[in-house]
Structure 1
Amino acid sequence: MSDPRVVAVGNTLIDHTYHLTNLPGPDEGAFVREYERRLGGVETNVATILARLGHETGLVSCVADDDDGDDVLDRLDGSPIDHVTVHRVPGVRTSYCLVLTDPEGNRAIIGGGESALELSLTDADVATVAAADAAFTSAYAPLDAVETLAALDTPLVYDLAGEFTDLTDRGLTRAALDDLAPDIARFVGNLTSVRSYLQTDDGPEDCCAALVARGFTAGAVTCGADGVYLFDEESVRHVPAFDVAVTDTTGAGDAFTAGLIHAWVLDDLPLDEVGRFASALAALNCTVTGAHAESPTLEDVRSFLD
């Protein structure tokens, strides 16, 4: 088996997905209509979706030495990811997410467990990433692991993944992200996360300009139903979202990121084509249940765009 073209480094975990009658607000209630236990994690989702697009992918992660860790490994054995390296760490709980959805496809996500923060890269892990065409990680990965990836020649795609009120408890600081910026080939973040990092209420176009000023050379600010703003050092392009019948928005952002890696990093397409391809992949992913179990193939996306 050849080396993977894309290696994702970071989370693999269990998603406890509760399909509710409604998403409750403060002091409100809801009823569980259905419960699902799924394999998840930003990096796992992106690697899986890229594999469904036809790329040879790898995953480097860690789980605890507990029953949930065993479950994650069993599920990864059945995944389309070609190269899986999962380290086991004692004395902590395998990371997990509580995913709450309502009948309209809206969701809330709550993370827990400690294993995701215990990832320490070995020399073999680093060599695997160094041989790849692209690497992917997120703000949920330990900062020292991200810094190691950023020092390599392999183009690094980085997902901000959450608001700084969440990320600071995971060890990320704004100063550290500022230092990483010049070594990140493609930055991805939703508008809420980007605003929390920049500490602004500016619109997406101004946020793109602020990211360039911070040292990021190219990336995307996603805005849900309002589409995406792609930027490089020369321009900002707005690409509208596709209108589809939404079943489940879980994994839509990860599908967009996988599409961006496919179209922008591996194929080096123009910004408008990158935005259309990644947005189409995300839209199609919203028409099925789950983050990646039925994620679109390359032919699915091409047919949709045609």
Structure 2
Amino acid sequence: MTPHNDRPSDDRPSDDRAVDDRPVDVLAVGDASVDYFVHVPHIAVADDKAIGRLAGVHGGGMSANLAAAASFAGARAALATAVGADDLGRQALDRLAAQGVDVSPSVRVPGGHTWFCVIQLDPTGEKSLVGAVTEVKIPEVGQISDELLRTARLVAPLADDLDWAIGLAGRARAGGAKVAVDLEPDAVAGRLDQVRELARLSDLVFCNQRAADELADGDPERCAALLLAAGAGAVVVTRGRDGALCFAPGQSWSARGPRVEVVDTTGAGDTLAGAFTGSWIRGRSLADSLRAGVAGPSLCVGHLGSRAYLDAGTGIDSLVRNVTLDAAPPLQGF
């Protein structure tokens, strides 16, 4: 297994993240899908119709996107997912393998159908996504062994199902791995106790503005304070075109990427989480990891498909130089 790009030449160990000899830097556990993109004149709403044209078929899935972005950032990335033993499942895994992700921990379910998404894209590049979840999406708990978790320095469980993610996070930590999670708005709504428990087990917690709306009335500082108080090591709040904020005890940062022409926003948040995680687990500081995290989506949104940027031949170092990083006011009490 080789990463998609060479590791940055100044990647120096700064703590135990960079001296652990486990063979996998980032193990994403969750989903891989196939995405069908349709260009529409407007996003269809209730009792509406939008007739468009098929723009392309690309690999997707939040966990798959995160793993690919971690590889792009220089990490040795692997994915443990479940797909059907069908053409879509083969396509999903083959594309990931070509993009530098070790898919050997994944399983193909005989008779199963791989889940897929249909994505409407309006002329501005904004999207509306409909996921067709089949009987196969993520591995069953029993399909993820403790031995597999111990091969990874960091485990990133999909947080669609908080109880499932908490179980995996606890087992990963018990085996000596670090944990990163990306909180989904629908998953966290009304489940504050489970959110706190997952944060307690996590070294890195990512959430977008919609998740911050659910947890803290849209206030990113309050959201970060809540998650840090629960025990999270660091919290990253993503803000779309406005970049991202990173909070940890004693330090706070904001970063904004260069303005780019947006083709498709699909997978931008997954790319940020993956590039940040891949950089951080290789020994980079939170500030440098935030710059890498924000650089990834700046490239991602310029291409159709959540991972098409990987074929552009652009290294992450050239993008990082165009990210504006500033110290942010520290959180009170941390």
1:120 aligns with 2:136: no
State the alpha-carbon separation in 2 of the partners of residues 210 and 235 from structure 1: 16
CA RMSD of aligned residues (A): 2.7
User: CA deviation digits over 1:167-210, x for unaligned, max 9?
Assistant: 78xxx9443332222110100010102322x2x42421222122
The equivalent of 2:307 in structure 1 is 292
Which of 226, 243, 250 pairs up with 1:210? 226
Report the Cα offset of residue 118 of structure 1: 4.6
CA gap of 1:279–1:9, structure 2 versus 1, over 3 A, is: same
User: CA deviation digits over 1:36-62, x for unaligned, max 9?
Assistant: 222111111121222233332111110
The equivalent of 2:115 in structure 1 is 95
Report the Cα offset of residue 163 of structure 1: 2.1
CA gap of 1:78–1:229, structure 2 versus 1, over 3 A, is: closer
Fraction of identical pairs, as percent: 25
User: What are structure 2's unaligned runs of at least 5 residues?
Assistant: 2-21, 325-334
**Does the aligned pair in 2 maintain the 1:6–1:58 contact within 8 Å?**
yes
For residue 308 of structure 2, give the secondary structure of its aligned residue in structure 1. Answer: coil
State the alpha-carbon separation in 1 of the partners of residues 255 and 66 from structure 2: 21
The equivalent of 1:163 in structure 2 is 186
The equivalent of 1:283 in structure 2 is 298
The equivalent of 2:198 in structure 1 is 180
Report the Cα offset of residue 224 of structure 1: 1.0
**Does the aligned pair in 2 maintain the 1:221–1:228 contact within 8 Å?**
yes
The equivalent of 1:274 in structure 2 is 289
Aligned-partner residue type, residue 249 of structure 1? T
User: What are structure 1's unaligned runs of at least 5 residues?
Assistant: none
Alignment of 1:249-268 (within 5 A): 249-268=265-284
**Does the aligned pair in 1 maintain the 2:34–2:61 contact within 8 Å?**
yes
For residue 104 of structure 2, give the secondary structure of its aligned residue in structure 1. Answer: strand
Of the structure 1 ranges 92-101 and 41-50, higher mean CA displacement relative to structure 2 is found in: 92-101
Alignment of 1:1-306 (within 5 A): 3-89=23-109, 93-113=113-133, 114-122=135-143, 125-140=145-160, 143-144=163-164, 146-151=166-171, 152=173, 153-164=176-187, 173-196=191-214, 198=215, 200-271=216-287, 273-295=288-310, 296-302=314-320, 304-305=322-323
Q: Which has the higher contact order (CA 8 A, sep 6+)?
A: 2
State the alpha-carbon separation in 1 of the partners of residues 320 and 295 from structure 2: 9
State the alpha-carbon separation in 2 of the partners of residues 131 and 160 from structure 1: 24
Report the Cα offset of residue 79 of structure 1: 3.6
Q: How many residues align?
A: 297
TM-score by length of 2: 0.78
**Does the aligned pair in 1 maintain the 2:258–2:323 contact within 8 Å?**
no
